[in-house]
Chain A
Amino acid sequence: MTRSEIVRSVADAVADVAPQARTIAETTCLMGNDAILDSVGFVTFLVALEQKLGNEIDLSTAFISQGTVEESQNPFLTVGSLAAHIELLLGAAKA
């Protein structure tokens, strides 16, 4: 799965949960004050994304178990950071 395909899957999963979202880019915030999703929407998004990725990786458990991390290191912060994180996870799964 290429990086652009992962970004598209993340963006599609956001759109599935947030019909009000007009444009979804790599910089779109998924968490924090500018987040496009509320907490329930975020959970729904993670599960929907796992399904789009063929249930190959467990994002929701990873999210719960990560605890508090520095914002700059939070892979769930934006569409782009999450796509990069998924790329790493998929790579690790194949290795």
Chain B
Amino acid sequence: MSDRRTILLIADFTVSGLAGFLGHDEPPPALDATTAPFDQVVPTLLDEHAECWKSNPSFALVWTRPQTIAKTFARMLNHERVPPDAVRAEVDQFVETVRMAARRVAAVFVPTWTWPSYDRGLGVLNMDPTIGPTYFLSKMNTWLAEAVADDSAIHVLDAGRWVAQAGALASHPKLWHLGKIAFGPEVFKHAASDIKAAVRALEGAARKLVVVDLDDTLWGGVVGDIGWQNLDLGGHSAVGEAFTAFQRALKRLTRRGIVLAIVSKNTESLALEAIDSHPEMVLRRNDFVGWRINWDDKARNIVSLVSELNLGLDSVVYIDDNPAERARIRQALPQVLVPDWPADKMLYEQALAELTCFDSIALSEEDRARTRMYVAQRQRQDAEQSAQSIEAYLLSLGLAVTVERLGPTNIVRAAQLLNKTNQMNLSTRRLSEAQFVEWAASTDHHVFVFRVCDRFDDYGLTGIASMTIEDSRAMIADFVLSCRVIGRGVEETMLHVLVDQARSLGLRQLLARYHATPRNEPCRSFFDEKSGLSCDADDLQFSWDLARPYSAPGHIAVRLSVFDQG
């Protein structure tokens, strides 16, 4: 996230005010914004040779007013009756021009259409299906969202929320008459925040773990002093109700792939008893992927916890009611996001809802099941500790690997995995969904994805191996494996599949070139010490003579799914 990315702002109003908010490094990442010529939206989108595209922006923002995109909407504002199909046709035409721009950048952001908040329109007729401007505006936004739903490079952003949050400061006639500025700075501030959150989501930098304190954070009161029976939680107390609402909001996060953990200075047995026994607890033991409930330093506990979960500290959000504890974590672990937290407990749910660090581009089934997977991992670790040997442990897991080619049913999760895996990653190549699909479409490129399960759980899609055919050689382009299944023989299974496919194509050699990053040492270690591939020490290139097969580990059942296609 250190390299500055550029974004081209294309609008039919003066949008330079947004650039300052995008360029600011809080919240990260700072984006260098350039602005397309004023009110030249369609020509800019159509002309790939236009001057403003020459800086090769990473992203584009296409922000327009509804009356300039749909002339029929402008007519309707003059109280003419217009056929809805004509409005829709203009929206579809606009989307086609946006699609053209989407080929030039990693992603295009399109804010929804809004109307100046000071204009009350037709009052009671605003939602009239024949002449209501609000009705047509909502239809236009729905058509826009539906039209781009199949294009993973175009993302519609909810500008209505920015306008609502800005309230009376959202727009002002003077701003328009003096500078053709459609929105006030409050709108631009909220827009920049959401655009940056979307960029972080595209780059796999969303936070994945929420670590919470217990006393006066998850429930009201100190459990060690008053006992779980007397905690302020639920019931008919306003504050107790607010705590259950906050817990519900945390539970909702788990359905988005965010996992929860506890770090609390408490007596573990008392805290767990409260979690298990309090009738109004929304979050129970199996909603947490881990905990450190003791009297040790919280920073040390967080480090220990993320290590156990195989996550980075930059995945963590820490929530604590105590300002001193928050300051301690900020100072000791600057990578951890420690949001300011309201003293008023009834505002906890709102404070959580305002965080932009969890945004993701898509939501897969694996995301929804992530907490269950971590809980199963905890049970697996218990099995490991009781096994006689590592071989006996691996055999006891009953591991099965299903291999698929990259396709519509797995691209969402595969792109997520490609973009956020750091440790077992040979090349650390980052591609958007659209770019990955385009790359895989070449006949010289082969992409396989790997689903892993064992007797405890289904890990879901956790591996990607791809190769490029060059003459008689296959060069591994991606070798990506989730840290949740590292070291169980899945790596060797992935090599087995690549070697098997390369041999079936009549190739002679499989090559793997390791590109070092600050975080992918585990990948080098695997190729160098465990893979069995020969290594050219000078440039860390590994090779396998395809005259020989490469066996899959005996403790893994390999299933080839729709493998002959492609």
Q: Tell which of B14, B16, B184 touches A47, judged by Cβ atoms closer than 8 Å.
A: B184
Interface assignment of A19: CB less than 8 Å from any CB of chain B:
yes
B49 at the interface (CB under 8 A from A): no
Tell yes or no: B185 within 8 A of A by CB.
yes
Do B169 and A51 touch across chains, with their CB atoms under 8 A apart?
A: yes
Q: B22: shortest Cβ distance to chain A, in Å?
A: 10
| Contact with A44, one of B23, B24, B168, B175 (Cβ below 8 angstroms) | B175
Give the Cβ gap from A90 to chain B, nearest Cβ, in Å: 19
Determine if B32 is an interface residue (Cβ-Cβ < 8 Å).
no
Q: Mark B166-210, 1 if CB is under 8 A from A, else 0.
A: 001100101100110100111001000000000000000000000
Are A19 and B181 neighbours in the complex by a CB distance under 8 Å?
no
Which chain B residue shows the least CB distance to A50? B174
Contact, CB under 8 Å: B17 / A41: yes
Q: For B189, give the chain A residue with the smallest CB separation.
A: A19
Q: Is the CB of B174 within 8 A of A17?
A: no
Complex interface: chain B residues within 8 A of A51 (CB) = 168-169, 172
A23 to chain B, nearest CB (A): 15
CB distance from B406 to the nearest CB of A (A): 41
Known: A16-B185, A40-B14, A48-B184. A60 touches B178 (CB 8 A): yes
Is residue B522 contacting chain A, with contact meaning CB distance below 8 A? no
Q: Is A20 an interface residue (CB 8 A)?
A: yes
Would B181 and A48 count as touching, CB distance under 8 A?
A: no
For window 150-176 of B, CB contacts with A under 8 Å fall at 168-169, 172, 174-175
Cβ contact within 8 Å between A20 and B184: no
Q: Is the C-beta of B374 less than 8 angstroms from some C-beta in chain A?
A: no
Set A38, A44, A64: member contacting B181, Cβ < 8 A: A44
Q: Mark B460-480, 1 if CB is under 8 A from A, else 0.
A: 000000000000000000000
Q: Closest approach, in angstroms, between the C-beta of B433 and any C-beta of chain A?
A: 32
Kindly state the separation between the CA atoms of A18 and B175 in the bound complex, as whole angstroms: 16
Q: How far is the CA of A38 from the CA of B14 in the complex (A)?
A: 13
CA distance A48 to B179 in the complex (A): 13
Provided the pairs A40-B14, A51-B169 are in contact, do residues A20 and B23 lie with their beta carbons within 8 angstroms?
yes
Residues of the A chain whose Cβ atoms lie less than 8 Å from the Cβ of B24: 19-20
CA distance A46 to B17 in the complex (A): 13
Q: Is A77 an interface residue (CB 8 A)?
A: no
Residues of A within 8 A of B21 (CB): 19
Contacts of A40 in B (CB 8 A): 14, 16-17, 179, 181
Task: State whether the Cβ of B20 lies closer than 8 Å to any Cβ in chain A.
Answer: yes
**A47 touching B17 by the CB < 8 A rule?**
no
What CA separation (Å) do A47 and B184 show in the bound complex? 9
Is A43 an interface residue when CB atoms closer than 8 A count as contact? yes
| A16 contacts B186, C-beta separation under 8 Å | yes
Closest to A38 in B: B16
Cβ-neighbour of B175 out of A20, A38, A47 (below 8 A):
A47
Total interface residues on B, CB under 8 Å, equals 19
State which of A17, A39, A48, A64 has its C-beta within 8 Å of the C-beta of B20: A17
Partner of A43 from the list B20, B168, B179 (CB cut-off 8 Å) is B179
A43–B169 CB distance below 8 A:
no
Q: How many residues of A contact B (CB 8 A)?
A: 18
Contact B179–A18 (Cβ < 8 Å): no
How long is the Cα–Cα vector from A50 to B185 in the complex, in angstroms?
Answer: 14
Contact A43 B175 (CB under 8 A): yes
- Closest partner residue, chain B, to A61 (CB atom): B174
Q: Are B17 and A48 in contact (CB under 8 A)?
A: no
A19 touches B20 (CB 8 A): yes
- State in angstroms the CA–CA spacing of A48 and B178 once bound together: 13
- Complex: chain B residue closest to A18, CB-CB: B20
Per-position 1/0 for B1-27, Cβ under 8 A of A: 000000000000010110011011000
Please determine whether B174 and A60 come into contact, CB atoms closer than 8 angstroms.
Answer: yes
Q: Within 8 Å CB of B179, what residues of A? A: 39-40, 43-44
In angstroms, Cα B174 to Cα A19, docked, is: 22
Establish whether residues B16 and A17, one from each chain, have CB atoms under 8 Å apart when the complex forms.
Answer: no
* Contact between A17 and B17, CB atoms less than 8 A apart: yes
Interface residues of A in 40-63 (CB under 8 A from B): 40-41, 43-44, 46-48, 50-51, 60
Q: For B184, what are the chain A residues with a Cβ–Cβ distance below 8 Å?
A: 44, 47-48
- Give Cα A19 to B20, complex, Å: 7
Q: A20-42, CB under 8 A of B: which get 1 and which 0? A: 10000000000000000011110
B16 contacts across to A, CB distance below 8 A: 38, 40-41
- Rounded to whole Å, the gap between the CB of B356 and the closest CB of chain A is 16
CB contact list, B1-60 vs A, under 8 A: 14, 16-17, 20-21, 23-24
**Chain A residue at minimum C-beta to C-beta distance from B173:** A47
Among B21, B179, B181, find the residue whose CB has the most chain A CB atoms closer than 10 A. Answer: B179
What's the minimum C-beta distance from B15 to chain A, rounded to whole angstroms? 9
Query: Which residues of A lie under 8 Å from residue B23 when comparing CB positions?
Result: 20
Which A residues are CB-close (under 8 A) to B172?
47, 51
Q: Considering residues A16, A20, A43, A51, which has the most beta carbons from chain B within 10 angstroms of its beta carbon?
A: A43
10 residue pairs A–B, Cβ–Cβ below 8 Å? A16-B185, A16-B189, A18-B20, A19-B20, A19-B24, A20-B24, A44-B17, A47-B174, A47-B184, A51-B169
Assuming A43-B179, A60-B178, what are 7 further A-B pairs, CB within 8 angstroms? Answer: A19-B21, A40-B16, A43-B175, A44-B17, A44-B181, A47-B184, A48-B184
The 5 closest A-B pairs by CB, nearest first: A43-B179, A19-B24, A43-B178, A16-B185, A47-B174
Write the residues of chain A forming the contact surface with B, with a CB cutoff of 8 angstroms.
16-20, 38-41, 43-44, 46-48, 50-51, 60, 64
